[in-house]
A and B are shown apart, each in its own frame.
Chain A
Amino acid sequence: MIFIHSKIKKIISAYLDNEVSEKEKNLVEEHLKKCTFCRKYYENLQRLSSALNKYKEEELSSDLEQRIKNNFLGGKYKGVAKMKNKKLIVGISSGALAILLMFVFVGHIQNSIQKRIHNAYLELSGEKQYESVSGGEEYSSSIGDGSVINSQYPQARKVEKWRDLNRSQGSLEDSKASRKSIYADSNKAWMATSGKYAAGYAGHDYAYQLNVPSESLIKPSITGVEEGPIVIVEPYLPATGKEDKLIRNAYATLEVENIQKVYDEIVKVGKGKNGYLAAANFNESTSGRVNAQIILRVPKEKFEETIDEIRKLGQVKRFDIHSIDVSQDYSSLVSELNTIKTVYDKIAEKLKEKKTDIQGAIRLESQLSPIAKRIEAIRSKIAEYDNLIAVSTITINLYEVSWKLMIQESLKETKQRFVAFVASLLKNSVTLLPLLAIVCVIGFVCVALAKKLISVVKKIFTKKSS
């Protein structure tokens, strides 16, 4: 009976919903007439249905309705897309923030490590406070006739050393103050010597240029830096004429198709210009590339012609001409030679006259021998200069073009670079792994927080509107 009741119950439930077949309907109606228990159950279900109908219907909030209408009745619904976009934006921005933070963090660590190493180096090197250090202040003053006074100062960080350096200036609190004082001193110099003053600023280094008449070169008028190291750099004087004693050299690198042929050509050119082959060497690298270096010497009159001809022999990859002016050296050597020679002649004359005793003669002889040595040295130096000036040196580097080799080499280089790249990537990723994990966790939490925040705000808004 219980079994039948439980089966009938199911059918009664469907019967109430008009979801029974004709046969089942008859069965239920028959059964309900007979069974009070099932009738009660039927009534219960009816009551339940009316109880359930008490549940009030909800209305869509008017602003949302309007939004949906506006968005999707025009053909496309932007609301969801917007929300998706929002999520995307939140995701991307939190990711970007995490990456930025990571970079800042890593950069900070690197920077501090570098600083530490640098400071350690400075401490170890102790007295090297005057060396130019990157990030330090550098002042240079240029004197009117082209001479330059370069004064290099320690890093701004080393304020104490600055103080020591600038005792005469009184209190110097920081590098800024020092800079000001230099500026003031330069002004004084300018006023004192009626020169020209110019100051420039580039990046974080200040460069001060001071143009003053040459007579003030003897003692620089920058009072504040008197104790500092002052280096007087010789000016570079360009060649002015044929009378100058110039040693002229040229360096050329040529890319050629047939190295042997070009070598022969060069020798031929050299001989044609009354020159000679000073040195030559061939060498084949392990990769099969043939290189050659040829040193050619030609009279100075034929220098330019030779160069012009050599340049035509292949593709010029590098070309330099250097002129070293030895006029001053040369003339001082000549004048020294003259002076010493005069002294030598006088002593030699005295010896010839035989007016002294033997001891005197020995003394004179002993005086004479270093002079004679010096004369020889000067003469040989002058001869060397003469030779160098009269005959110019042209150094030519040759290498063969070989496509196969070039491809091989570039492939090799690419491989090496790739390996280096992968290695550095691995190294960095290993060192950054814990950091990455932290960043990931932070990012994850950020995204979750943002989601939560959005949903809470949305709920609050919908509540308000409803």
Chain B
Amino acid sequence: MMEYRAGNIGALEEIFQRYKKPILNYAFKLLSSFADAEDVVGEVFYILTSSKDKYEPRAKFNTWIYTIAHNVAIDRIRKRRKISFFWQKKDKENNSYEELDIPDTRFMPDANAEENDVASYVKKAIDKLPFQLKEAIVLRQYHNLTYEEIGVVLNCSLSKVKILIFRAKETLRKELWPYMEEVR
């Protein structure tokens, strides 16, 4: 990032190649919509380029970029809420926007998806998680961020991160126990 700030466009290319996939998956898991996730990627890199001067070298770069993605995703969810005000009554219990979003059929269980069965249940279980728990477990499980880094991204204390991840694991464990035997 420092190289990019110094004017090296190639450094930016490297950042993009390294982070495009993680950011996309992070956003997809949070928002459950591929289109939105792609938008988030675009927006994250836009913010990255437009606010390169705000980057402080003492912060770790991956926490910085995940923080941007986190903020953009939250922004998306707020916008969705505004639109859903027009189009449907929000399901208060599980915060779902299924009526609003076009269902993502890629993870629907279908004939050739025996292999994907576990994956689809995992997705469903993660989708059901409350937003903060979801974020914490996703960052830990899929992006290998340390608890401390997660604390920076979510702007909370280390102990809170611990609790969030513990709760997320507990919920997922209860949700996924019938399928866990298959694994090993």
Contacts and interface: CB of A to CB of B under 8 A. Distances in A.
A209 to B, nearest CB: 64
B128 interface: no
A439 B39 CA distance: 32
Contacts of B46: 72, 77, 79-81
A58 B42 CA distance: 15
A359 to B, nearest CB: 111
Nearest to B177: A44
B102 interface: yes
Nearest to B87: A452
B28 A58 contact: yes
A72 B45 CA distance: 7
A180 to B, nearest CB: 58
A59 interface: yes
Interface size classification for chain B: 35 or more
B119 A77 contact: no
B20 A77 contact: no
B166 A9 contact: yes
B42 A47 contact: no
A172 B35 CA distance: 68
A77 B183 contact: no
Given A19-B162, A57-B21, A68-B42, A459 B102 contact: yes
A176 interface: no
A13 B183 CA distance: 19
A458 B183 CA distance: 37
B57 to A, nearest CB: 21
A448 B39 CA distance: 19
Interface in B108-167: 116, 118-119, 122-123, 126, 137, 140-142, 146-147, 162-163, 165-166
A48 to B, nearest CB: 5
A59 B21 contact: yes
A45 B169 contact: yes
A245 B83 CA distance: 88
Interface string A434-455: 0000000000000010011001
B35 A458 contact: yes
Contacts of B147: 14, 17, 19
B58 interface: no
Interface in A39-74: 44-45, 47-61, 64-65, 67-69, 72-74
A73 B13 contact: yes
B172 to A, nearest CB: 6
Given A17-B140, A64-B38, A459-B35, A54 B49 contact: no
Contacts of A203: none
Contacts of B181: 47
Interface in B39-66: 39, 41-43, 45-46, 49-50
Contacts of B83: 448, 451-452, 455
Interface string B167-184: 001101100110111011
7 contacts: A9-B166, A45-B173, A53-B141, A77-B50, A79-B42, A448-B83, A452-B83
Given A10-B162, A68-B45, A79-B42, 19 more contacts: A9-B170, A14-B166, A17-B140, A17-B147, A19-B147, A44-B177, A47-B184, A51-B176, A52-B142, A54-B118, A55-B119, A58-B24, A64-B38, A72-B45, A79-B46, A80-B46, A448-B83, A452-B83, A459-B35
Interface of A: 9-10, 13-14, 17, 19, 44-45, 47-61, 64-65, 67-69, 72-77, 79-81, 448, 451-452, 455-456, 458-460, 462-463, 466
